[in-house]
Amino acid sequence: MANLDTDVNFFYRPHSIFALISVIVSLVYLANKKDVRRVLNFFDKDIGLPLPERSYADDCALTPETLWGSIDIFVIGHTLGWFAKAIVLRDYWFCWINSIMFEFMEYSLQHQLPNFAECWWDHWILDVMMTNWLGTYLGMKTCEFLEVKHYSWRGIKSITTYRGKMKRTIQQFTPHHWTKFEWGTTKTLKNFLAVLGLLYLMLQFEVNGFYLKYLLYIPVEHPINVVRLTFFFFVALPAVREGYQYLTDKECKRFGMHAWLAAANVLTELIVCIKFGQGEFNEPTPRHVLIGWGIGLTLFAIYTIWRFGFHKVKLEDYEQVIYEEEDEEDEEDEEQEEEEKKLIELDNVEKITLTKKKVIKEGVLTGGESESFNVG
């Protein structure tokens, strides 16, 4: 790599520096993990050095002391992470499935990543039932708040009070409108596969972070981890929105740019992990993990065939009956509306007739006026 010629000979517009940057990025793709560790250590002395092994499964007795001893600053980070996921996914069930599946991923990969080895109560009580649930709940409540909140988008000059100006300034950093997601996972095979793809990308992104920290010697508490998560949060917001639009809008024929870029980011990280992981993980996958995933995938395949194969025919017949009943109800409603209109017209005619009789009887109108009134 050091012998490569990095001179820019032909590319001058818009500036030769762009060609040089492309060369540098290409060299990064060719780098091995030792070179990357050295580069990271050059910029930050806390990165690129072998990390001490840390175990979370030394004392798994469920006592108030052990439970309280496991609560640290990372619990807050965990909760904030699930708050962000709820903002992105906007669906309780989707978040719950993601949460449970990640715990299974930890069980399955703890032979490669030692910090995935946790006590059972750490998996299911501290993570799933406490931090994950709390973050998801707060995130979904925020979604509900943004969904019903109405803003007055007036110009700030038209607001006379300082309090109103401050409120208007804060509102400028909130969404103009908010869309509630109804994924309809089992509605169609297209929705089903798309939601599975999104679930895979979310899980893969999380797993990538742990592998990158392990392979590049990045401490868990280093700010670069927070920067990565924050960056992907803002990438995922428009990406998931575009994916939802593709699933629910018949006029939308393809995924948007943000969705493709988000998927490319996750898969690029995966490729980097595979490349840098060569020779790092020599322990074979445990037999019980292979059997468990084999049984799970088999049952999942059976459900998919039943739901979108044999069961789909019965469901379509049922839906056809529902549609026919709805059509009949619509026809009855239309007939009832027509009858109501006729009754209203008759009632108006009766009121006009009574008014004319009353006017004539009181002698307010003259004979000519009466005739002209009747003619009119």
* Residue listed under structure tokens 């998801």: 136
Residue 335: band (very low, low, confident or very high) from pLDDT cuts 50, 70, 90: confident
Of 283, 315, 347, which closes a domain? 283
Q: How far apart are CA 237 and CA 142, in angstroms?
A: 15
The count of domains in the chain is 3
Task: Give the up-direction half-sphere exposure of residue 19: CA atoms within 13 A in the CB hemisphere.
Answer: 12
329 lies in a domain?
yes
- Phi, psi values for residue 360, rounded to 5°: -65, -40
Residues 278 and 187 in one domain: yes
Q: What is the pLDDT of residue 321?
A: 47
Residues 276 and 314 in one domain: no
352 lies in a domain?
yes
157 lies in a domain?
no
Q: How far apart are CA 275 and CA 272, in angstroms?
A: 5
Q: Is 90 helix (H, G, I), strand (E, B) or coil?
A: coil
Distance of CA 262 to the CA centre of its chain: 12
240 lies in a domain?
yes
Residues 73 and 110 in one domain: yes
Distance of CA 26 to the CA centre of its chain: 32
Residues 41, 47 contacting (CB under 8 angstroms): yes
For residue 301, pLDDT over 60 is answered with yes
Higher-pLDDT residue of 116 and 8 is 116
User: Measuring CA to CA, how many Å separate 331 from each of 149, 316, 319, 321, 337?
Assistant: 37, 22, 18, 15, 10
* Mean pLDDT, all residues of the chain: 78
What tokens does 361 get?
């009887």
Q: What is the pLDDT of residue 48?
A: 86
259 lies in a domain?
yes
Distance of CA 193 to the CA centre of its chain: 15
Residues 211 and 336 in one domain: no
Residues 278 and 312 in one domain: no
44 lies in a domain?
no
Residues 355 and 275 in one domain: no
Pick from 30-39, 204-213, 320-329: least confident: 320-329
Give the tens place of pLDDT for each residue, 210-261: 999 999 999 988 999 999 999 999 999 989 988 888 888 888 888 888 999 9
Cβ-proximal residues to 121 (8 Å cutoff; 6+ apart), any chain = 60, 62, 67
Higher-pLDDT residue of 50 and 358 is 50
Q: How far apart are CA 142 and CA 131, in angstroms?
A: 16
Query: For residue 307, what is the DSSP state?
Result: I
Residues 202 and 331 in one domain: no
Residues 275 and 320 in one domain: no
Residues 6 and 69 in one domain: no
Residues 267 and 308 in one domain: no
Q: What is the pLDDT of residue 256?
A: 86
Higher-pLDDT residue of 98 and 342 is 98
Q: Domain residues for 336?
A: 304-375
Residues 247 and 105 in one domain: yes
Q: What angle do CA 40, 44, 45 make, to 5 degrees?
A: 105
Give the tens place of pLDDT for each residue, 113-167: 988 988 899 899 989 999 999 999 999 999 888 874 433 333 445 555 666 656 6
- For residue 253, which amino acid is it? K
For residue 264, pLDDT over 80 is answered with yes
Residues 229 and 143 in one domain: yes
Q: How far apart are CA 267 and CA 259, in angstroms?
A: 12
295 lies in a domain?
no
169 lies in a domain?
no
